[in-house]
Amino acid sequence: MAMVKAHKEILRTNRSALVDNMSDIEAIVNHLYETRTITESMKEDILEGRSTKTEKKRALLDLLPRRGQYAFDDFFNVLIACSEYIAADRLKPGQGLAAMAADRQAGQSAPMAPQQATYVASPVEDDLPRYWPDQNYNPLFVDVLPVPNEDTNMWNKFVKSGTAGSYYCMQKNPRGRLLIINNVNFSSARNKKQLPLDDRQGSDVDATSVDMLFEKLSFKTVTKTNLTKEKIIEVLVEERQLDHDGYDCFACVILSHGTGGGVYGVDGEVANIQEITDMFNGQNCQTLVGKPKLFFIQACQGTKKDRGSAGDPEPSVSEISLKLQKLGLKDETKAGSKSQVQCETQTDSVAEENLGTRADTFVAFATTPDYLSYRNTMRGTWFVQAITYIFQKYARSEDLVSMMTKVNNLVSRGEVFGQGLKQVSIFNSSFRKKLYFFPGLKVDVSGEARPHNQMQPTNS
């Protein structure tokens, strides 16, 4: 989101005063880099690309209005942290001098580092982490909040979901089946087909966290690891042929390298995503007709790198790959460029043909067509971390589409620190109703909705 007009105007009308009153521009710029207000390349451009301090100050003031809604408050906080009180007072009259008086009264003589400063709260429109992934979030600690006992609204929705209404039925125990396909080892693709597909370190964290999440959501989970394309199809066929009458939902999570419209088997062969989802449509899987079918695809859809709306010119593939390795990140890069044209046509068909036999299908992608997704080798992918974070917190009160909109928001806040690389997840839906997971609720023999902890287990 862009900086608000009023903040831009303050920076414009106080430009000369700010240039005159900022003393240590190097410290200010370095602190703005540490708070992620500017990228490493922006920092270097200001400090190394300008010869005089005045030019550096002007370059920073030119840049700030393009750094989003939080940049104004970040700038103010950094000025306070660097003891640039007079300059800070030009941004928020009275607050800068008040901070100076408070510091002097406390006997402070040295500037505080930004992480120690008491920052003025930036305006936020939600309670999501400002940066993603949140380093305080442990993807291997999964604990879904249940529907509160006092939430009669959700209880009523749960009861109504058993009738032909506006909510998908999610009353059975278990609710549904989850199939996880986790492809990690791509040595066969490298050795036999000479494809540049690295092993997907960190993917096991994704697989484990998703498994724990859906178990908490009352799903029966199955994980398959390191499948070739043929094995992917074989496993999906077996899943399609199962009797799903005892379940209300089916979900599939695929963790792999990807290309436009497809995901790689560990042998380097590509399985088409549309063909995968069609296996479970109304014609091919009768026991899932009218039931929600969920697909979460953690894979690249191309090789482009999203630099964000205010990013620098796109660097070379080799340059970015080297820098990502230093940061402990991987891009889920596809091999070759032939299928990039396929990506454009495949995504169009996916978007326009979710009708008829393809009803009740939800497909979420880690990234937009043609672009890369990012994975931390220790903590997993941005996309899967966002899903587990959001579902744990909001499944008790919000439907799937609302939660995945939050996931998109959270993933979009991710950035390869110092490089400005971004990612945005997307989803396609042919849902006809709202899907709630109703964590903590189940139906007892009398047909009443109750929390899990108030009833004995049943076979319903």
Does 127 fall in a domain? Answer: no
- Average pLDDT for residues 108-122, to the nearest whole number? 36
User: Which residue range forms the structural domain that includes residue 384?
Assistant: 169-454
Domain boundary among 116, 151, 179: 116
Q: Specify whether 308 is located in the same domain as 431.
A: yes
DSSP 3-state of 402: helix
Under the banding of pLDDT at 50, 70 and 90, the label for residue 301 is: confident
Mean of all residue pLDDT scores within the chain:
83
pLDDT value, residue 451:
57
pLDDT value, residue 445:
57
- pLDDT above 70 covers what percent of the chain? 79
Distance, in Å, from the CA atom of 375 to the CA atom of 392, rounded to the nearest integer, reads: 21
- Tell me: pLDDT of 323 over 80: no
pLDDT value, residue 124:
44
- Average pLDDT for residues 118-145, to the nearest whole number? 74
Q: Identify which of 103-117, 155-169, 438-452 has the greatest average pLDDT.
A: 155-169
Q: Is the peptide bond before 369 cis (omega within 30 degrees of 0)?
A: no
Q: Specify whether 106 is located in the same domain as 202.
A: no
CATH of the domain at 183: 3.40.50.1460
- Tell me: pLDDT of 162 over 80: yes
Tell me: the pLDDT tens digits for 230-285? 999 999 999 999 999 999 999 999 999 999 889 999 999 999 999 999 999 989 99
> Active site residue: 82, 169, 300, 343, which one?
300
pLDDT value, residue 98:
75
Distance, in Å, from the CA atom of 278 to the CA atom of 284, rounded to the nearest integer, reads: 7
Does 125 fall in a domain? Answer: no
Please report where in the chains the tokens 């089946």 appear, as a residue. 177
> Active site residue: 257, 285, 343, 452, which one?
257
- Tell me: pLDDT of 205 over 70: yes
Please report where in the chains the tokens 């989003």 appear, as a residue. 68
Residues 6+ apart with CB under 8 A from 79: 22, 28, 85, 87, 88, 91, 96
Q: Specify whether 246 is located in the same domain as 112.
A: no
Under the banding of pLDDT at 50, 70 and 90, the label for residue 109 is: very low
Q: Specify whether 78 is located in the same domain as 186.
A: no
Does 138 fall in a domain? Answer: no
- Tell me: pLDDT of 103 over 90: no
Tell me: the pLDDT tens digits for 380-400? 999 999 999 999 999 999 999
- Tell me: pLDDT of 158 over 90: yes
Domain boundary among 77, 95, 116: 116
Does 340 fall in a domain? Answer: yes
Answer whether 270's CB lies under 8 Å from 339's CB.
yes
Measure Cα distances from 219 to 210, 261, 405 in Å. 11, 28, 22
Q: Specify whether 329 is located in the same domain as 221.
A: yes
Would you call 300 a catalytic residue per the annotation? yes
Q: Specify whether 216 is located in the same domain as 359.
A: yes
Measuring CA to CA, which residue among 341, 199, 358 is closest to residue 264? Answer: 199
Distance, in Å, from the CA atom of 312 to the CA atom of 159, rounded to the nearest integer, reads: 52
Please report where in the chains the tokens 């066929």 appear, as a residue. 237
Does 153 fall in a domain? Answer: no
Does 338 fall in a domain? Answer: yes
Distance, in Å, from the CA atom of 460 to the CA atom of 458, rounded to the nearest integer, reads: 6
- Tell me: pLDDT of 164 over 50: yes
Residues in the chain: 460
Domain boundary among 52, 81, 116: 116
Q: Specify whether 262 is located in the same domain as 402.
A: yes
CATH of the domain at 32: 1.10.533.10
pLDDT value, residue 231:
98
- Tell me: pLDDT of 328 over 80: no
- Tell me: pLDDT of 347 over 60: no
Answer whether 196's CB lies under 8 Å from 239's CB.
no
Residue ranges of alpha helices (H) inside 82-170 are: 85-91, 95-105, 152-160
- Average pLDDT for residues 400-426, to the nearest whole number? 89
Q: Specify whether 319 is located in the same domain as 222.
A: yes
Residues 6+ apart with CB under 8 A from 309: none
Does 19 fall in a domain? Answer: yes
Under the banding of pLDDT at 50, 70 and 90, the label for residue 418 is: low
Measuring CA to CA, which residue among 79, 128, 48, 72 is closest to residue 389? Answer: 128
Strand order in 374-376's β-sheet? 329-331, 374-376, 380-381
Q: What pTM was computed for the model?
A: 0.69
Give the Cα-Cα-Cα angle 326, 327, 328 (nearest 5 degrees): 95
Q: Specify whether 102 is located in the same domain as 186.
A: no
Does 137 fall in a domain? Answer: no
Q: Specify whether 91 is located in the same domain as 231.
A: no
Distance, in Å, from the CA atom of 408 to the CA atom of 430, rounded to the nearest integer, reads: 18
- Tell me: pLDDT of 172 over 80: yes
Under the banding of pLDDT at 50, 70 and 90, the label for residue 3 is: confident
Distance, in Å, from the CA atom of 131 to the CA atom of 145, rounded to the nearest integer, reads: 23
Tell me: the pLDDT tens digits for 46-96? 999 888 999 999 999 999 999 888 889 889 989 988 989 899 989 999 887
pLDDT value, residue 326:
47
Q: Specify whether 198 is located in the same domain as 344.
A: yes
Q: Specify whether 335 is located in the same domain as 433.
A: yes
Would you call 257 a catalytic residue per the annotation? yes
| Structural domain total, the chain | 2
pLDDT value, residue 455:
36
